[in-house]
Structure 1
Amino acid sequence: MSEAGGAELTVARIAALAGVSPPTVSRVINGQSGVAVATRQRVEAVLREVGYRRRDSAVSFPILELIFHALESLWALEIIRGVEEVARERGQAVVLTEMQGRMTPGKAWTEQVLARRPTGVIAVFSELTAKQQAQLATRSIPLVVLDPTGEPLHETPSVGATNWSGGLTATRHLLGLGHRRVAMLCGPLAWPCCRARLDGYRAAMDAAGVPVDPGLVRDSTLYVEGGLRDGAALLAMPDPPTAVFTSNDLQAFGVYEAARRAGVRIPEDLSVVGFDDLPFSRWAGPPMTTVRQPLVQMGATAARMVLDLAEGGTLAQHRIELATDLVIRDSTAPPSRS
């Protein structure tokens, strides 16, 4: 390991400033265990103060690290578009990591990202452990979370959308058309965005004085298969819904297929509202009414935030939520039966 001014001298100087031994500083720098939390924090504070950087782990060009729990839909591609637009403008390359459905990256990713020394890390639908966040902070690598899977923490900058408002607006639209048997397909309720969409649905139903039938609210998965399975179950009920609000467009597309198989017409027999406004939604048959989530802008916002932090700037807001909008197309209409 080489360091400006000599590695040994630099480590020794940091150790003296922090009041610890050089081996302790080395363990903190290399992300090793065996260091008390208070001691680690003291060393990390000194590292940040002196602007410590390891030359052997520096990359030859600036990169943004973009980590996803899964890359299985156009949802992820829309976010990537937004990140790359900003990255190009500011001279950054983008490195993608997919965790194949895991919410927290493993030790191998941590070692690799610390070796790459990116300008910053954007975690999408992912959560880094406290230790991983501390390791990034030690190397002055800022972190921004997009649509966190846990409660947004003020100390971790994050970007999201107005999910509650989106759920409220979508349900109000269906109620305004005259629907009263309105079903809701949820996503994982451990995720704040899915819980907020369900809460928006419940708030709209409550405000309209329409009781929520528990049988019409289904925990589903955010994929076509989930919409197909749970949509088929809803349509097989003795008193099926006349409208379905889904947590994303993929679920809605699954409901479309369930309706086709059951001989149910959209929107004549069943109104459907999605969420996201992915590019394919306008080409569905019929074109899908959906809540537009500004995915490209969310990716761009996260990229600007992390780059501003990397350049030593401060954020006016640590939590940013971008507005959602209802896009009315041809999959919703007044019910043919009350």
Structure 2
Amino acid sequence: MGRPRSSKVTVRDIAAAAGVSIATVSRVMNGRTAVSAETREAVQSAIERLGAPQARGRTSGRPGRDVFVRCPYLLTDYFGIIVSAVAETLELYGRQVILNAGDAVLDSDVLTGLPDRAQLGGAILIIPPEPAHSLETLSRRDFPFVVVDPRTPLPRDIAAVSAAHFSGARSVTAHLVGLGHRRIGMIGGPGEWLASRSRLAGHASALSEVGVLPSPELCSSVEPTADWGYSAAARLLDLPQRPTALIAFNDKAAVGALRAAYDRGLRVPEELSIAGFDDVYLSSSTVPMLTTVRQPLGELGRMAVSLLMRLMEGHAVETLHVELATELIVRGSTGPVPPARRSG
């Protein structure tokens, strides 16, 4: 039995009728060759039965099939993992990637022109530097897009995928608290970033469980690089009463903190514990290896594509803000608070 011809027909409907995946339907509709003749015939037969000879899977009428991926940063570790996952997953859906990446495009004004580019069906924006009102303007033009790890809070009707920054930060602080640490330095990211604020809140939450309030002198807001991490750690370690542990915004900043500790003759973790965030390759390349919070970077990219495909195919999406779980990875850079520094 087919659907009434007046109904909207989506790629998902065609896939179910043909007994194949959505990605396979997309390949057939795109005219790609990596499909057997039998499968192609089954998909085309399903399209005819459902009365959707021109089905594109979208309700907005955009003809474009390509996906614009904006990541205005160097594609190393963190960003490279996300972009690779996005590209690989879009390939499964038979979509072409138009990549806008690198520091050189950080300040380029590209969002306003995206809906006018006929070949584009949607976009994935990775930590977009543009203000929220620019994203709201793009959304009002009925252009499908998904934000990966937004810098600022977004309206509920803009699709976004992020990691659980609050619970991740809470878990690493709770780990250190459980080791006896109370004077913990927080090397945070830029103060205006949503991730920075969420992690600081998670840090404060874990400390409050043992009746400790975060000290302003122990909290820094820096650019998440090794050099900035070194400078922030140096300031904290040179305080009259230095912290017994440091938590960095990411693994790069934690590497900088390790260097600052080394320059001061502090043994890690015997005299100072250090933890990072992300679990990129750096975290297991240091001596000692870094305790860190693992972000599901590849899954962030895959989930963003999945959500974008649903939007492009006209499906109703009830949950537009998706938060993926993080995981505490305990390694050798954290240990019990030094006996001489234990508080009563």
Q: TM-score range by the shorter chain?
A: 0.7 to 0.9
**Equivalences for 1:143-222 in 2 at 5 Å?**
143-222=145-224
Residue in structure 1 matching 2:268, options 266, 270, 273: 266
CA displacement at 1:271 relative to structure 2: 0.5
Residue in structure 2 matching 1:51, options 56, 61, 65: 61
Q: Secondary structure at the match of 2:262?
A: helix
Is structure 2 residue 84 aligned with structure 1 residue 85? no
- Root-mean-square deviation (CA, aligned residues, Å) is 2.4
Please list every run of 5 or more consecutive structure 2 residues that lacks an aligned counterpart in the other structure. 1-57
Is structure 2 residue 151 aligned with structure 1 residue 141? no
Q: Secondary structure at the match of 2:120?
A: coil
CA displacement at 1:209 relative to structure 2: 1.0
Residue in structure 1 matching 2:306, options 304, 307, 315: 304
Distance 1:135 1:330, change over 3 A: closer
CA displacement at 1:85 relative to structure 2: 2.5
Please list every run of 5 or more consecutive structure 1 residues that lacks an aligned counterpart in the other structure. 1-47
Distance 1:271 1:130, change over 3 A: closer
CA displacement at 1:133 relative to structure 2: 5.6
CA distance in 2, matches of 1:264, 1:281: 19
Distance 1:90 1:49, change over 3 A: closer
**Equivalences for 1:1-338 in 2 at 5 Å?**
51=61, 53=63, 62-71=65-74, 73-98=76-101, 100=103, 105-106=108-109, 110-111=112-113, 114-115=116-117, 117-126=119-128, 127=130, 130=133, 134=137, 138=141, 141-336=143-338, 337-338=340-341
CA contact (8 A) 2:274 2:333 kept: yes
Tell me which residue corresponds to 1:44: none
CA contact (8 A) 2:170 2:206 kept: yes
CA contact (8 A) 2:115 2:143 kept: no
Q: Percent identity over the alignment?
A: 32
CA contact (8 A) 2:139 2:158 kept: no
TM-score, normalization by structure 2: 0.75
CA displacement at 1:135 relative to structure 2: 5.5
CA displacement at 1:130 relative to structure 2: 4.9
How big is each residue's C-alpha offset from its partner over 1:173-206, in whole Å with a ceiling of 9 and x where there is no partner?
A: 0010011211101111211111000111111111
Q: Say which is worse superposed, 63-72 or 304-313, in terms of deviation.
A: 63-72
